[in-house]
Chains A and B, each alone.
Chain A
Amino acid sequence: MASEAGEGSTAGMDDYETLISTTDVELLKKAWRNEKAAPEILRFETSLIQRIRGQIQLMEENIEEFAGSGIDPLTVSLYQMDLDRTQYLFRSYLRIRLQKIEKYMFHISKNPEVQSRLSEQEKGFARRCADDMERHLEESVLSKLPDNYQDTVKQSIISEESDMRFSWF
């Protein structure tokens, strides 16, 4: 009886764990960890992000209701805590991706495979970043150089390929 109950409870635990591991928050945690550790930008989890946004909004509304309806304030602050943590993960995920885009802006603009891993808004961000940077380099350096050397990508027009060798190109 005891062993049966023991097995029953471990089977129950397994179910609980599999249930927990597929919640959106767990998926977000996984995506966040992957993004943090990977040196290059990974595929954007469009559907996950949309679902999480919806859930966050729902949670916020619930908390406001609870705060007004006299439920134990400790419970409310626990829900608030949980919501804060989820929001942190969400924002941090987007932030890490933005910082990676900033780092590799020229590589992204030349490489369509990497571009396919960005969301629509991120693609716009990457394009503007690269444009801003080109404008900045042109104004500060290239316009002061003689004519044949004014390209960002080639060292001079007689170079046969894009040989302006920076580690980020």
Chain B
Amino acid sequence: MQEEGLDVQTTRSADHYGALIHHLSLVRNKRCLMAYVYNRAETIRSLIWKVGPVLPQEIQEKLSHTEEDYFKKHAGTLQSYMSRLDLDVTVDMVPPKDPYIQVRVLDDIGVVLSDDKTTNFARHSMHFLKRTDAEQFISRGLMEELTG
């Protein structure tokens, strides 16, 4: 077109429309892809709050490599914030009703050291624990709270 000396701005040849359609569809695809990736990333971030910094296998196989990287990086960002503040913000997720709660162990955890006591968490045993200690096990599904 430039060789023919025509004014590029106003010439409307078939090439122009072809290029325009290509551009518009490219831009639309870009928007769709970015929205997809961004929304998945949002769900991944919410997983950190729900499940903790380590992902269970069934979820991990559904993520792409980049997403696994993003998950690790974000967990690291959160961890660095918590260590700068010297406070764990991921425990204590529900308002407390009692300082101690009763839990039943669902999976074999074995012997665990907590504070000054060592307790053996055998399957189906019931314990009376401090809330903050039990919470990490409950969120991983290894224990359940007895509310009855």
Counted as pairs of residues, one from A and one from B, with CB atoms less than 8 Å apart, the total is 95
CA distance A165 to B89 in the complex (A): 33
- For chain B, the count of residues having a C-beta within 8 Å of the partner chain is 36
Residue pair A121, B96 in contact (C-beta under 8 Å): no
A114-150 toward B: CB 8 Å interface, digit per residue (1/0)? 0000000110110011001101110111000110010
A85 close to chain B: CB less than 8 A: yes
Q: Which residues of A contact B74 (CB under 8 A)?
A: 129, 132
CA distance A88 to B87 in the complex (A): 12
Task: Mark out the residues of chain B between 77 and 96 whose CB falls within 8 Å of any chain A CB in the assembled complex.
Answer: 77-78, 80-81, 84-85, 87-89, 91-92, 95-96
B1-45 toward A: CB 8 Å interface, digit per residue (1/0)? 000000000000000000000010011001101110110010001
Kindly identify which residue among B26, B35, B70, B89 contacts A166, using a CB–CB cutoff of 8 Å. B35
A75 close to chain B: CB less than 8 A: no
Q: A88-B96, A136-B70, A140-B64 are in contact. Are A155 and B37 (CB under 8 A)?
A: no
Q: Which residues of A contact B87 (CB under 8 A)?
A: 91, 94
Q: Which residues of A contact B145 (CB under 8 A)?
A: none
A94-111 toward B: CB 8 Å interface, digit per residue (1/0)? 110011001000000000
A156 close to chain B: CB less than 8 A: yes
Provide a sorted-by-A list of 8 A–B residue pairs whose CB atoms are within 8 angstroms.
A91-B87, A122-B81, A125-B81, A136-B66, A136-B69, A136-B70, A140-B66, A140-B67
Binding site for B on A (CB under 8 A): 77, 80-81, 84-85, 87-88, 91-92, 94-95, 98-99, 102, 121-122, 124-125, 128-129, 132-133, 135-137, 139-141, 145-146, 149, 152, 155-156, 164-166, 168
